[in-house]
Structure 1
Amino acid sequence: MAAPEQTPAQYVPIGGDREISDRIEAYLAKRDGVDKLLKISRYASKIIIASSLFESQPLNSKLKSFESSVGVTRKALRLGKFLQSFNALKKSSELKSKRDFMASIASGGEGLYYFVEQFVWLSKAGLIDGKHSSRFSKIGAWCEFVGYVGSISVKWMDLSEIGEEKERLRSESDENVRELKMMELEEKEMMKRLSIVQDWADWLMAFADVRDGKGPLTSPLLLSSAGLLSALISAHKIWVSCKA
């Protein structure tokens, strides 16, 4: 008699694997998520080029071509992103406090930067005469430079508020509530500090751009490292925000 047919065992995915795949999907679904991965690859390439890790000229040429292509791709990916900043600017237009004023500078500078970047992309893509590219880039760099001054100022104010919240929380009588809220505030504080580091790194690159790469703090290796640091922090923040 033939042996009874056995039903193939069904594959049951491990919960952790499913969660990580869902989280990756959520990350890649975000425009900023893809942008930061491109930014990481671009500045990693720039670091290799600047540090002369490989003496092979063909390889360096390929890396330069790759880095340049990724840069243009990032500009295309951010098409229309200026609207996000301008919408934030409208919300802080009342200027009731110093924080509102600095937030307006941050949003306005960022919005103008992304708006001008669209013309940089069009010039690099060949739709606009390439001779205008450097002029657009310079205008965008100044907008970005001013925007980061506002952004850093706002985040320092936020850090101060978090510190005040932590002080007030010490008087909480319920120990469990106090510990839970303290953990939340400490995590929030850490992310805010990372954001400040990221802004300083981006500000450094904008500072170099407005000076056309001349003067102190314009070493290609230094700027590439700052770009990679900024990209890694931003990618981490987006990853944390992606709940599986």
Structure 2
Amino acid sequence: MANDTLDKLVIFLAKRDGIDKLVKTFQYVSKLLHWHAEAAHPGLAHRAKQWEIASGLSRKAFRSGRFLTGLNTVRRNPGPNLTFQILSVFANAGEMVYFFFDHFLWLSRIGVLDSALARKMSFISAFGESFGYVFFIISDFILIREGLEEEKKLFGSKEKSGEAEKRIGKIRGERIMRLMAVAANLADLVIGVADIEPNPFCNHPVTLGISGLVSAWAGWYRNWPL
């Protein structure tokens, strides 16, 4: 019996990435709600802000030890060739910095460590995150280009077998997933820049809210069970 929607939702929420995307949705929906209600409904805006803060702190707790994932990726499966290995090292190094210093940011925000550390930890974490995303995006674009070239060759071949059709379908599926990854990474890059170099555009609640939801929902798509 094939899994239905409820089965898939249970599987999705059983994964750390799944619950993270759900709580990330809460975080950025509440950010937009706070912005929308701030002037006319201050009580509602305050509750939305508390929801946003709680969601953000919860996500940091869920990510405990997550930096080890990048370390293990570099150790076990850095890439098929030197180009991808270099990109993988830089991308995962940035992500490791992000997740590692995020522990200290979380502890400083909940009062275990000096709250004065929060700003510095936030900057280091966001810088590592943004640095890593650049290389993840480059890797995905290279793979998308390679997929397009392979698909073009398969279309250009005189004999189109069932295997070729399956391969084309697989390439297209992978391309969608990589485009979702690029969308998520670009959205998170905007959020990272807002921490590194605050500016009116990146730090506007609507920009942050939409970026967060794009990232969250792209993650939903990528992690949703087949």
TM-score by structure 1 length?
Answer: 0.85
> Which of 21, 31, 37 pairs up with 2:22?
37
SS for the counterpart of 2:4 is helix
Query: Which stretch shows the higher mean deviation, 45-54 or 60-69?
Result: 45-54
> Quick one: distance in 1 between partners of 2:27 and 2:14?
20
Q: 1:228 to 1:49 in 2, by over 3 A?
A: same
Q: What do you get for the CA RMSD once the two structures are aligned?
A: 2.1
Preserved contact between residue 34 and residue 44 of structure 2 (Cα < 8 Å): no
> Quick one: distance in 1 between partners of 2:162 and 2:188?
39
- Matching of residues 118-129 of structure 1 within 5 Å: 118-129=103-114
State the partner residue of 1:177.
Answer: 163
> Quick one: distance in 1 between partners of 2:89 and 2:47?
41
- Matching of residues 222-237 of structure 1 within 5 Å: 222-237=207-222
Q: CA deviation at 1:24?
A: 1.5
Q: CA deviation at 1:93?
A: 6.0
Q: CA deviation at 1:174?
A: 3.7
Preserved contact between residue 78 and residue 88 of structure 2 (Cα < 8 Å): no
> Which of 164, 168, 171 pairs up with 2:149?
164
Q: Which amino acid aligns with 1:176?
A: G
Q: CA deviation at 1:99?
A: 2.3
Per-residue Cα deviation, 1:119-139 (whole angstroms, up to 9, x for no partner):
111112221111111111111
Preserved contact between residue 37 and residue 44 of structure 2 (Cα < 8 Å): no
- Matching of residues 88-99 of structure 1 within 5 Å: 88-91=73-76, 97-99=82-84
Which residues of structure 1 form unaligned runs of 5+?
A: 1-14
Residue 186, structure 1, aligned to residue 172, structure 2: yes
> Quick one: distance in 2 between partners of 1:216 and 1:79?
31
State the partner residue of 1:7.
Answer: none
> Which of 57, 72, 78 pairs up with 2:42?
57
Which residues of structure 2 form unaligned runs of 5+?
A: none
Q: 1:57 to 1:101 in 2, by over 3 A?
A: same
> Quick one: distance in 1 between partners of 2:62 and 2:117?
21
Deviation beyond 6 Å, 4+ runs, structure 1: none
> Quick one: distance in 2 between partners of 1:104 and 1:82?
13
> Quick one: distance in 2 between partners of 1:125 and 1:53?
25
Per-residue Cα deviation, 1:157-182 (whole angstroms, up to 9, x for no partner):
11111112212322162443322221
TM-score by structure 2 length?
Answer: 0.92
Residue 134, structure 1, aligned to residue 131, structure 2: no
Q: CA deviation at 1:228?
A: 0.7
Q: 1:95 to 1:184 in 2, by over 3 A?
A: closer
Task: From the CA coordinates, give the structure whose radius of gyration is larger.
Answer: 1
> Quick one: distance in 1 between partners of 2:47 and 2:35?
14
State the partner residue of 2:184.
Answer: 198
